[in-house]
Structure 1
Amino acid sequence: MSDDDSLLEYSEIVMKMFGNEDDGFEFYNNYAYEKGFSVRKEYCKWDNGHNAKTLRKFVCSCEGFRAEKEVRREIKKRRPQNITRCGCCAQLVIAQDPNTGQWYVKDFIDEHNHPMTEPDLACFLRSHRRISDDQKAEIVQLQISGIRKHQIMDIMVRRYGVYDKVGFTSRDLYNFCHRNKAETLSGGDARTIISYMTESKRRDPDFFFQYKTDGRGHLTGLLWCDFQCQMDYRAFGDVVVFDGTYKTNRYNLALVPFVGVCNHEFCPDDGRCNKYLCRNCKNNVSPCLNPVGGIDDLLAWCCNCWSHEIRRCLNGCQDWSDEEDVSDHQVHTELDLAVT
């Protein structure tokens, strides 16, 4: 760009007026996109009553330097990011006119001490990546449909043709999904899962679930079995599996999938199924969990719920011994065992 063009561009920018602070940021961010750099909000000034902003400073993302203590720190919990701040002086300062309420350009510096990003790569700079409201709604719907995050990103790329037209990166997608999940569970994750189970039961009368709480109302056990599990129960045979995971989450709850099958074409209906499962639970799950106490009662509660549902969804009864396998079909239920 020639000197005359630069001077003309400078004159046009310093004469700009904005309705509010956000308009000023959008203008400077679009300008930065065309030039090949990223911007961020840095300094603001408030009125005497600290009720409204009267000045805002936007700077190049390379402004300033990384704190010296961060550079010299020897023990780091995370891998340090690349140093991107190099003391760039480029900035746009806007202030509010107290008479008109309009925002005007108070200072503008367009001198950078670093190379500009290539035009086809500018879309990946931080201030130019954004997930629109329509994209957010679509991502949520795809998640509800059971599509995984990396597959959602592939769908977006295919829709827009190329990565630079999507408007965000895979990391932005993962961050949005995490924030959306946190907002969904903000009212209480236990309450959320119970509401979800209740809604599933309303949509599918064959859906089964029971939960258990302690004296303080805290969720300590949850057992569920959907219609697909019941169909699988009628189809396969001859293994009993207990796969326990001990305290792998923030709640110190063990997730135990129960899978039981048998090839003898009968279903016990005299209560000994409960004893069989309890015996296997205590022999196979309890030693692995090694809880402080209270696991027997919880296992008995689980088994009562489990065997009751099995007897409900199966027809037929035939005598069997304790040494034989439980049933003719596969059962797949999942139980959260509290081991506090």
Structure 2
Amino acid sequence: MASSSNQAQNFNYTVNIESSSGNILNNQNNVFIEGVCDSTATSVIENFVDVFDDSFSRTTNLWKPKVSDPNFKPYSGQWFKDIESCFQFYTQYGLQGGFNVRKSTQKVKNKKIVTKYIICSHGGHHETSISKLSKHSDDAMSESSHVSSVVGDQVRRRNTITKKCECSAKVILKSLGPLDSDPYVVSCFIEVHNHPLAFESGKEFLRANRSMTALQRHFLLDASKSNLGAYRAHGIYKSCFGLYSDVGPTAVDFQNWMRDIKLYIGKHDDDMLLQKFRDKNETSDGGFCYEYQTDSDGHLTRLFWADVRGRKNYDVFGDVVSFDATYHTNKYGMVFVPFIGVNNHWKNVTFASALLDHENETNFTWACEMFLKVFCRPPKCIITDQCLAMKVAIQKTFPDSIHRYCMWHIMQKFPAKIGPVFCAESGFMEKLNKFVWSSHLTVAEFEEGWNAMLNEFGLSNHVWLNEIYGMRKSWIPTFFRDKPMGALLRTTSRSESSNFYFNHFVQKGDTLSEFYMCYESAI
């Protein structure tokens, strides 16, 4: 009896019924039946449940749920219109009693479920082979995600921690007729459990209390549009609603839901995105334009789109376009190519965007052709980095447009080409900046100053300097003085700043659907 008293003290139980060999202890949540070891105590337990077999040891500890409202307690002979109604009822009983429930095996006759088992989540035992599970069991469906390998006819399961301990608490439903509309009756209700039940403070962590509401799902999706992960979103949600018990789902539940969303998207990612584009095209009466191409396997390789706002902005501010393809995003490693301009407030505007699987001449040519197809006129000036594939594509597609190289990219190459020490200590860069950045010099003044500078520093025969001097008409501001809108942009910094801005909203592991959702939020 001393050991029984100690255990009662540890669990804050008080003695309710005593026998010479065992105690029945209870608290506000459940009744605990301890130390079954003689016929007197066994007869007490059999008053609670009449279904015991040899699987119970003579020293098994049993717990009986205690609910505040007896109307939530199932009973033999209780009717339900369908299985789902009974499952919801038993779930609510489990919430009050402190245990989780799940659907288990079933018997089917003429495509009608005639018997259904709804059991405690600790029921059953841990199978190492999924093929041993009933083909009609919901457990078989849930276990399929734990497949590790297949050996012969046996499907081996990944070793995982299990809470199954052959708990016999259950509700057994029987159909009252062969029709789908026929109700079900509780043919057997086993009340006691062979494991401890949750205390009041732990009931908030029961599975049924941690299901995500529609509001929480929408909140998590909106948070992901701003590049907020599930863990941070859960913290913000908790701050808005108070205590963690007011939230329900844990941060892990938030993370698991986002994981399930990614798995749901799966290989249908591109199809989902294209369907979204079709819907946007229909709702905008053709204002939203998109084009795409796939490979022989049906995988998306090129995608171009322009929305209504971008098309209107191009009509007004489309004289100069910055075109950059250095930003790799999404889980497929596709290149994000935004077409950027400047509005009357000197702010960036996005005319159109493209996703390309590779940076090559063919893809760039296709993107430029789609741009011309949608906007019907080429830009007066287009600025890119020193990419030969882009140069060829622009010459093919926009032959009348001024193609300008980004000055910043070229200037960044000087220390590497000439030498960092020489550039830092000789004063060469100071003199160079006076010539290359000034738009007030005439062509003759620039060429004279350039040659004099190279002679002064002994660089007249430098191969790379002579190479960039040969393409001076593509990047030196002096040669754009008389070109319409030619001096509006001198670098691709507009594109790079847009890439930096988009980077706050997207992650490299995003699917295409997630990427576009974040893109819309950023725009």
TM exceeding 0.5:
yes
Q: Which residue of 2 aligns with 1:46?
A: 108
**Separation (CA, whole Å) in 2 of partners of 1:15 and 1:214:** 61
Q: 1:255 aligns with which of 335, 352, 375?
A: 335
Q: Say whether residues 1:198 and 2:281 are aligned partners.
A: yes
- 1:102-134, Cα deviation, whole Å (9 max, x unpaired): 4322222223222212223223223443234x5
The one-letter code matched in structure 1 to 2:163 is: T
| Secondary structure of 2:164 counterpart | coil
2: CA distance, partners of 1:147 / 1:323: 37
1:211-230 deviation line (CA, Å, top 9, x unaligned)? 44679987532234565796
| Cα pair 2:293 2:300 within 8 Å, conserved | yes
Q: Distance in 1 between matches of 2:274 and 2:245?
A: 40
Q: Is the 8 A contact 1:201 1:208 kept in 2?
A: no
CA deviation profile, 1:276-328 (whole Å, cap 9, x unmatched): xxxxxxxxx99xx58xxxx4322212234457869767799989622458861
The answer to whether the aligner puts 1:28 opposite 2:90 as a matched pair is yes
- What are the residue-to-residue correspondences of 1:103-118 with 2, within 5 Å? 103-118=184-199
Cα displacement string for residues 240-295 of structure 1 (whole angstroms, at most 9, x for unaligned residues): 7532549942xxx6223357799xxxxxxxxxxxxxxxxxxxxxx99xx58xxxx4
Contact 2:106/2:114, CA 8 A, preserved across alignment? yes
Higher RCO by CA contacts (8 Å cutoff, separation 6 or greater): 1
Residue 88 (structure 1) aligned to one of 139, 142, 167:
167
Match among 61, 72, 79 for residue 17 of structure 1? 79
Q: 1:217/1:66 Cα in 2 relative to 1: closer, same or farther (>3 Å)?
A: closer
Structure-2 residue corresponding to 1:123: 204
Indicate the residue corresponding to 2:362 in structure 1: 297
Give the match for residue 268 of structure 1. none
- One-letter identity of the residue aligned with 2:250: T
- Structure 1 residue 176 displacement after superposition: 4.8
Q: Describe the shift of the 1:193–1:17 C-alpha distance in structure 2 as closer, same or farther (beyond 3 A).
A: closer
- Label 1:162 to 1:255 Cα distance change in 2 as closer, same or farther (>3 A): same
Shift of 1:56: 1.2
Structure 1 match to 2:474: 322
Q: Which residue of 1 aligns with 2:38?
A: none
Give CA-to-partner distance per residue, 1:75-114, whole Å, 9 cap, x none.
xxx9854321122222121222339944322222223222
Unpaired runs of 5+ residues, structure 1, are 263-284
Matched residue SS, 1:242 = coil
User: For residues 145 and 68 of structure 1, do their structure 2 counterparts lie closer, same or farther at Cα, with a shift above 3 Å needed?
Assistant: closer
Q: Count residues in correspondence.
A: 294
Find the partner of 1:243 among 326, 340, 349: 326
Query: What residue number does 1:163 align with?
Result: 244
Q: Any conservation in 1 of the 2:73–2:93 contact (CA below 8 Å)?
A: no
TM-score normalised by length of structure 2: 0.43
Give 5+ residue unaligned stretches, structure 2.
Answer: 1-13, 18-23, 32-46, 49-69, 131-145, 150-156, 343-355, 383-400, 405-472, 478-485, 503-511, 513-523
Distance 1:94 1:208, change over 3 A: closer
- After TM superposition, the structure 1 = structure 2 runs for residues 71-82 of structure 1, keeping only pairs within 5 Å, are 81-82=160-161
Q: Is the 8 A contact 1:96 1:102 kept in 2?
A: yes
Alpha-carbon distance in 1 for matches of 2:211, 2:223: 19
